[in-house]
Structure 1
């Protein structure tokens, strides 16, 4: 299907210069122009603020070569924050809720921790300082991303000859890292790797996780620029949901994973949602 979902792609649609002349191609360009205008407006406002407040000797906005990013490079990063993260974060939140609904004791521990943090508040809104207090919820989020891998595969192109030990990858080789497989290697995670165990990420056990063993946001210079934002977003959304509701799985519906750019389900994820009456809301 084409981006608008209106009709199947034809052979000629695979040639950009032809596709751009079609109605859907023109609409796609119009949509992209709008999206880019939103990002550029954000960039211009931020630049205006920096120009008014930054000291001329302040070089923290320059890269390692002493120059700043071009407007296109900045826009690409802004696009990542605004658009590319919503699908992966939604997947992560859904799968964490699935595991919490499946493991009721873990869900109760999360709710108890949230209730403790918000005790005596007139509002359920989190403050910035609250995020670090949600230690058990953070463990559950990390374990949910390990177990279900919201981004199951990442790709990289080698810029130089890459020595893999028993073979050599030439420059320009496309290499894929199967994060889902990495997260379920028995020699790394044990025979219970298919079980939801948040304690893997407790303070006592976190040092046992080897470097590059757990890379839900990829790793290295091309890792996810929005990973801290995504983690905080997941904490805020899950806190709001678990503070107000309890989740149970539908026993008559089997959830099946579907590997794609983002981990999905074959036939949806059905849950029963019950309001936590003790809150008197």
Structure 2
């Protein structure tokens, strides 16, 4: 009889537990929605002084971006309609004030406002707490330790390695030239830059230009890159839990596992090789010092090095930050040369003169091609490889026209419309040879912020030397 009563009580207790769980779930959902609505209300209030294009209440402006090659033109059109700045909504809760005038940009770049890590947090499962994501003392310490890895003395030997990667790409192009068939340029350039990074930074011959279809690491890198972009443009995926439970989240975890396994093995083998080489100058006496050597041998003022986890994060960050941006820049430089055969001839003649019969550019030759260098810079003005940069305000920001933006707001500096701002540049969409002859620099006001290198910001000068060398080579 007692056992029967206990069983009845147990049965009667189950619905109460289910009800309690259901109530807690409802409370959690209501609380989250309340917080999100408060976030949306605050964002709308912060943007009251900045009119912009109409947005959908749920999708924001996401449906305006088709990812068909016309997105930047749409941003440029909005920039012409709304001078100085306008809000862009990525879904119902995330809003950026998009600024595209040098006087507005100057206000942000001369401030100490921290970077907004939203897009980088989407890449965090791959690159961990690397230089792009870390903050405070950890960021300062890592930046100081990494800076020596991009000194000119370290970069000089890389030129020959980059040239070898370029030759491999050109050999592939020769076979295409014989068929008179068109092909997608960016994919080839992207593999070439990836090949160069692997050789220069890790002394690793991946053969990715000839084995891209079978190399698991290369496939994982491209998979992660595509999923990061997908997550940014799909607002439900901004939520970590939703993305984690989605098929795309599963694919990202799988790809990250492959990528981490590969880089972890490269790091492990290099650590073993360096066991008897405890000093950087001893390593340099035997072979070229690469980025991985710098990471493994770097020591701070307390003689402390970086942990294995930190080294892994910086390696993956280097791949993330230096791969596609350099490939994009190179692709558009080639496009600009193709659009201007007269400039192409001048650059070719200058390069041939600098080579003086040699097959390969050397470090010293890079200073002998000033017109080619200026052509590259002008191409980067028209086609910046990084579309923008973002900050999040910690205090009220007042712009030169008197409009203000409260603390906690996101600001995006849009480089494409900034570099094509008609109030600054004469014929902004034209590639000016006058710039290559130093004329434009004398006539343009606000030069410091009218054109911004893609490396401008707190992480500048760590990778810009390496990227510039790659572009020139």
Aligned 8 A contact 2:396 2:405 in 1: yes
Aligned 8 A contact 2:371 2:436 in 1: no
**Aligned pair 1:169/2:396, yes or no?**
no
TM-score by length of 1: 0.63
d(CA) in 1 for partners of 2:395 and 2:275? 43
Q: Which residue of 2 aligns with 1:200?
A: 435
**Aligned pair 1:34/2:269, yes or no?**
no
d(CA) in 1 for partners of 2:322 and 2:454? 11
Which residue among 157, 165, 183 is the counterpart of 2:392? Answer: 157
Which residue among 316, 319, 328 is the counterpart of 1:82? Answer: 319
Q: Which residue of 1 aligns with 2:143?
A: none
What is the CA-CA distance between 1:25 and the residue it aligns to? 5.0
Instruction: Between 80-89 and 143-152, report the one with greater CA deviation.
Output: 80-89
Over 3 Å counting, the alpha-carbon distance change for 1:104 and 1:224 in structure 2 is same
Deviation track 1:209-247 (CA, whole Å, cap 9, x = no partner) reads: 5112221314231447322211211111xxxxxxxxxxx
Give RMSD over aligned pairs: 4.1
The runs of 5 or more residues in structure 1 that have no matched partner are 237-281
Mapping of residues 108-257 of structure 1, within 5 Å: 108-121=345-358, 124-158=359-393, 160-165=394-399, 166-190=402-426, 192-203=427-438, 205-206=440-441, 210-223=447-460, 225-236=462-473
What is the CA-CA distance between 1:49 and the residue it aligns to? 8.7
Aligned 8 A contact 2:329 2:380 in 1: yes
d(CA) in 1 for partners of 2:449 and 2:305? 30
Deviation track 1:165-207 (CA, whole Å, cap 9, x = no partner) reads: 33443444221001001101122222x1111114315456546
d(CA) in 2 for partners of 1:38 and 1:171? 44
Aligned 8 A contact 1:39 1:78 in 2: no
Instruction: Between 126-135 and 205-214, report the one with greater CA deviation.
Output: 205-214
Structure (1 or 2) with the greater strand fraction: 1
d(CA) in 2 for partners of 1:134 and 1:49? 42
**Aligned pair 1:24/2:251, yes or no?**
yes
Over 3 Å counting, the alpha-carbon distance change for 1:53 and 1:91 in structure 2 is closer
Mapping of residues 6-85 of structure 1, within 5 Å: 15=242, 18-19=245-246, 24=251, 26-37=253-264, 40-41=267-268, 44=271, 51-53=278-280, 62=300, 72=309, 75-85=312-322
Which residue among 342, 357, 365 is the counterpart of 1:105? Answer: 342
What is the CA-CA distance between 1:34 and the residue it aligns to? 2.4
d(CA) in 2 for partners of 1:129 and 1:81? 26
What is the CA-CA distance between 1:72 and the residue it aligns to? 4.8
SS of 2:413's equivalent in the other structure is: strand
d(CA) in 2 for partners of 1:29 and 1:130? 39
Aligned 8 A contact 1:148 1:180 in 2: yes
Structure (1 or 2) with the greater helix fraction: 2
Larger Rg belongs to: 2
d(CA) in 1 for partners of 2:456 and 2:273? 28
Deviation track 1:99-149 (CA, whole Å, cap 9, x = no partner) reads: 11111110000000011011232xx21111111112111111111111122
Q: Which residue of 2 aligns with 1:239?
A: none
Aligned residues: 225
Over 3 Å counting, the alpha-carbon distance change for 1:217 and 1:41 in structure 2 is farther
Instruction: Between 14-23 and 131-140, report the one with greater CA deviation.
Output: 14-23
The runs of 5 or more residues in structure 2 that have no matched partner are 1-221, 283-297
TM-score by length of 2: 0.40
SS of 1:220's equivalent in the other structure is: coil
Higher RCO by CA contacts (8 Å cutoff, separation 6 or greater): 2
